[in-house]
Amino acid sequence: EPEVTQTPSHQVTQMGQEVILRCVPISNHLYFYWYRQILGQKVEFLVSFYNNEISEKSEIFDDQFSVERPDGSNFTLKIRSTKLEDSAMYFCASSRMGQGNQPQHFGDGTRLSIL
């Protein structure tokens, strides 16, 4: 069964550095999402992306964050200047259609540790 893949599985970065988290969504999916999960907390929505533009973003997704689909297969999340509080698990998800009855398929996540 096709799956969403995320790289790297674990990223350690110094505070203030830029980081790019990479995702390869399922190939025929058109809608892409990023979520984060701070250790021990619930999964929180960051941003949704369709047709090469952001559909919705949360208040967490401030100017330090950006997303991009640089080619036909990758979907990236960039954090420009990382802060300690950015330490979390970041999940990418994709769905074939945008209606909620097309389930979002989640990757295994990238654990981001900011030192």
Partner 1 sequence: AQSVTQPDIHITVSEGASLELRCNYSYGATPYLFWYVQSPGQGLQLLLKYFSGDTLVQGIKGFEAEFKRSQSSFNLRKPSVHWSDAAEYFCAVVNPSVNAGKSTFGDGTTLTVKP
Given the rule CB under 8 A, which residues bind partner 1? Answer: 31, 33, 35, 41-45, 48-50, 55-56, 58, 91, 93, 98-101, 103-109, 111
Q: How far is the CB of 54 from partner 1 (least distance, A)?
A: 9
Compare residues 3 and 85 and give the one whose CB is closer to partner 1: 3
Pairing of strands 43-50, 31-37: antiparallel
Dihedral class, residue 44 (left if φ above 0, else alpha if ψ from -120 to 50, else beta)? beta
Tell me 84's DSSP state.
Answer: G
Tell me 103's DSSP state.
Answer: P
Q: How far is the CB of 65 from partner 1 (least distance, A)?
A: 15
Q: How far is the CB of 47 from partner 1 (least distance, A)?
A: 9
Compare residues 82 and 104 and give the one whose CB is closer to partner 1: 104
Helix (H, G, I), strand (E, B) or coil at 85: helix
Rounded CA separation 103/84 (Å): 32
Compare residues 14 and 39 and give the one whose CB is closer to partner 1: 39
